[in-house]
Amino acid sequence: MGTFFSAPGWLCLTVTAVLGGTIFCKLKKSQGQVGRKVVCLAGLWGGACLVSLSLFWGLILFSLSCFLVYTYFSGQELLPADQKAVLITGGDSGIGHALSKYLDELGFTVFAGVLDEKGSGSEELRRTCSKRLSVLQLDITDPQQIKDAHSKVKEKLQNRGLWAVVNNAGILGLPTDGELIPMTEYKRCMAVNFFGAVEVTKAFLPLLRKSKGRLVNISSMAGGVPMEKMAAYSSSKAALTMFSAVMRQELSKWGVKVSVIQPGGFRTNITGTSDMWDKLEKNILDHLTPDVQEDYGQDYILRERNFLMFMQTYSVMDVSPVLLDVQHAISAKSPFAFYAPGKMSYLWLCFVSFSPTGIFDYFSKKMHSHRKSMPRVLSMPNWKNEAT
């Protein structure tokens, strides 16, 4: 106790208090969710130091952790939006639509790529946003439309580079067992969620290199956390996540910073409409072989749309955490390599990365135990005896 009340002890305590107060002030101004997680981790680390060591040395280590967090926050100041141009794909609806409006309000020059430039989403952007925003016809699976969009962006920017590209456009399809998903759906998910994003990136990278700007790819928590019924969607998002990681390394020498956003469950139009579900169900049934259809049963397949309703029920309406993280990714002096906005998404990604596979599978099975729908053969009382 005498050591703590000595001059070095009081000095250490004072430094801790000053740094802690400064960090708290910076935390109140921080954007998105990741800053709060870093501070929580620093707090846990400091607490562990105080418990495991003597009070004096614990405070020294805690002061050091506060200093490191302070240094970390000093690189999180946001650059001004003036004269910075951003291309966003998938601006018709959902996150892309909300992001286009949000960045326009912040003062960015926004190019909103849309699937239908005459659709209601496009018209709303023209009506509600400033003249800085331009709506571009951009089906990311159409190479010619990508070239045309590139020409229009380059013409408007003239000698300026493009500050950021946000690859947001994506599709979900009808979630069901991987064996039941037709190959056409696997290819469609890859075409939009992965190959489209890659082609847009390749087309606009010269403009990003010129500005030493940002590449932001909207992936999904499903790209890192195995989820039943999501074989096609998750595979395409996992490919996008890995593409982002490789490009982050390769583009660093050009001064281009790359971030990947892995949101949790947010309610958007990606789940589609009832008419779309009908078409997808018909597509699945038309492509099944007789033996697979016999084993699963048509009733099981038709009940799979209940999973979409489950997703909508438990997803979050407010997409502002995603918008804040994208803003941080394109505006911070030192953006993060990845972001995980949404309830529990960061914890789930960490859980998958560090826990044994058997433990994750056990918890995943428990989470899906409420879904009592089973394939026809598995619901038969004597199916185990028949299998043996």
> Could you tell me if 153 and 133 are in contact, meaning their C-beta atoms sit under 8 angstroms apart?
no
Tens digits of residue pLDDT in 96-147: 999 999 999 999 999 999 999 999 999 999 999 999 999 999 999 999 999 9
Contacts (Cβ under 8 Å, ≥6 apart) of 36: 27, 30
Sign of the alpha-carbon torsion through 97, 103, 104, 105: positive
Query: How large is the average pLDDT for residues 3-30?
Result: 56
DSSP alpha helices (H): ranges in 158-303? 183-189, 197-211, 231-251, 274-287, 290-296, 298-302
> Is position 314 annotated as part of the catalytic site?
no
Stretch among 263-267, 271-275, 301-305 having the lowest mean pLDDT:
271-275
Q: What is the average pLDDT value for the chain, to the nearest integer?
A: 83
Query: How large is the average pLDDT for residues 293-302?
Result: 82
3-state secondary structure of 341: coil
Tens digits of residue pLDDT in 152-203: 999 999 888 899 999 999 998 778 889 999 999 999 999 999 999 999 999 9
Stretch among 142-156, 259-273, 324-338 having the lowest mean pLDDT:
259-273
Stretch among 156-165, 262-271, 283-292 having the lowest mean pLDDT:
262-271
Domains of the chain, by residue range, sit at 7-74, 85-367
Query: Which fold does the domain 85-367 belong to in CATH?
Result: Rossmann fold (3.40.50)
In this prediction, residue 1 carries a pLDDT of 47
Query: How large is the average pLDDT for residues 73-85?
Result: 81
Catalytic residue among 70, 102, 233, 296: 233
Q: Is the pTM of this model over 0.85?
A: no
Would the pLDDT of 330 be above 90? yes
**Residue type present at position 215:** L
